[in-house]
Amino acid sequence: MITHFLPINFSAIGAEHLALAISCYVIVFFTLFLLSLVFGILPKLHTRNLRKKMQKEGEQVNTLIAGKMVPGEVSAAIAMAISMYFEELHDQEASILTIKKEGKSYSPWNSKIYNVINFNRFQG
């Protein structure tokens, strides 16, 4: 059915094409696997170093480490709230212009009492 619309030719697929696709995909997978491995190990090393440091200082290790960690739910809620706040700021504008009418503040410089037109009255 599809071949009526598209000139599909399966015989065009050569061994070199399959080799390229498979090897590229394997390398992508391996690179990301390596990255996940590194970041799986890194926090453990960090925690171990933290433990050693605290043990040296004679502090209660478990309680302190636990105290330094924010629970996941809390961080998720904070992240969500911040993200929503910034989304609001982004390009969701209310498109309402607020032009407040400002009352003229009094100044002797624009007072009618001291207007030059009054000059005649004083003359009279």
Partner 1 sequence: MEGIIRFLENSGFANATPGHLLMILVGLLFIYLAIRYEYEPLLLIPIGFGILIGNTPFIEHAGMQLGLYEEGSIMNFFYMGLLKGIFPSLIFLCIGAMTDFSTLIANPKLILLGAAAQFGIFMTYIGAITLGFNNLESAAIGIIGAANGPTAIFLASKLAPHLMGSIIIAVYFYMALIPVIQPPIMRLLTTKEERIIKMSPPRAVSKYEKVLFPIVALLVTGFIAPASLSLLGMLFFGNLLKESTVTKRLADTAKNGLHDIVIIMLGVSVGATTQATTFLTPQSMYIFVLGAVAFMISTAGGVLFAKIMNLFLSKENKINPLIGAAGVSAMPESAHVVQREGLKSDPNNHLIVHAMAPNVAGMIGSAIAAGIIMGFLR
Residues within the interface to partner 1 (CB under 8 A): 6-10, 12-14, 17-18, 20-25, 27-40, 42-43, 46, 68-76, 79-80, 91
Q: Where are the alpha helices (DSSP H) in 12-123?
A: 15-56, 61-68, 72-90, 119-123
C-alpha triplet 19, 23, 24: angle, nearest 5°: 115
CB of 52 to partner 1, least distance (A): 15
Nearer to partner 1, 2 or 99 (CB): 2
Nearer to partner 1, 1 or 116 (CB): 1
Joined tokens for residue 45: 């090393």
Nearer to partner 1, 83 or 110 (CB): 83
Please state, in angstroms and rounded to a whole number, the distance separating the CA atoms of residues 92 and 53: 48
